[in-house]
Amino acid sequence: GNVKFIHTSDDRDPLKDIPTRIMDLDSRWHETKNLDLEKFLGMPLCRVPDPFGCCPSWSEHFTKVWVEGIKAIGIEDMEIYYNDNLYKQGKFEPYIKTIFENREKVGEIVTKFQQTKHENYIPFDAICPNCGRLANIDGFDLNNRTVKFKCGGKEIKKKKTEGCGYEGEAGIAEGKLQWRYEWPAQWGIFNTTYEPFGKDHFEGSWKKRCRQVKEMFMLRRIF
């Protein structure tokens, strides 16, 4: 059968840290110490401005850098997808719905692997309409396709981003699955059969995600 090489830009992930150097589209490195980037910490990468001003966002700039690197090793035939667009198009919605409908099972699976999570844990974040940062949700309404949340900051890489205190609702298209569920949801969206990854993921993340795929999404295991 036909084989497709698919690259996804996880551009609803938050800006977690400020790298000391970043690359422009001409492969030149630049220091970031004089750039005011800290104010964007916790915001989805698709909503962080491109520091060079040549692309619509941080994510689009560095996706282009990545794609040029792939082309440099001779790979031209690839498909590029941005998670932000996939959420807007409703591609993730069936998986979000499954997780919300099976909240108790989600809590049961997660607490087996992560003692820091409680059984009421919902692996979904809303994008605050006030400050633009990601925030943990407190509840959801499947009929109205909304989530409830308070923007109280979010722990990212053992640091907590500031929240603005906004409290309200957001549509499920204005949020994201946390990576532990977003990753296997992508397998379903693209009917993935093979995905390369580092050995650091093999013993932990991959095996746990395979269990989630089987128990939550009824998808086959990938290799």
Instruction: For 165-202, give one letter per residue: b (16+ CB within 10 A) or e.
Output: ebeebbebbbbbbbebbbbbbbbbbbebeeeeeeeeee
Write out pLDDT tens, residues 80-131: 999 999 999 999 999 999 989 988 887 777 666 655 556 677 889 999 999 9
Q: What residue segments make up the domains of the chain, in order of their start? A: 5-86, 90-217
Please give the model's pTM, rounded to 2 decimal places: 0.87
The residue that leads in pLDDT, 187 or 216, is: 187
Q: Where are the beta strands (DSSP E) in the chain?
A: 6-9, 21-23, 29-31, 79-82, 124-127, 134-141, 146-150, 155-156, 159-160, 167-171, 175-177
Name the residue type at position 190.
Answer: F
- Give residue 212's pLDDT band: very low, low, confident or very high (50, 70, 90): low
Contacts (Cβ under 8 Å, ≥6 apart) of 219: 184, 187, 188, 213
- What distance in Å separates the CA atoms of residue 185 and residue 130, rounded to the nearest whole number? 28
Residue 8: predicted pLDDT? 95
- What distance in Å separates the CA atoms of residue 92 and residue 140, rounded to the nearest whole number? 16
User: What average pLDDT does the chain have?
Assistant: 86
Q: Does the pLDDT at position 41 exceed 80?
A: yes
Among 95-99, 164-168, 213-217, the minimum mean pLDDT is found in 213-217
CB distance 130 to 174 below 8 Å: no
| Residue 46: both structure tokens together | 């698709």
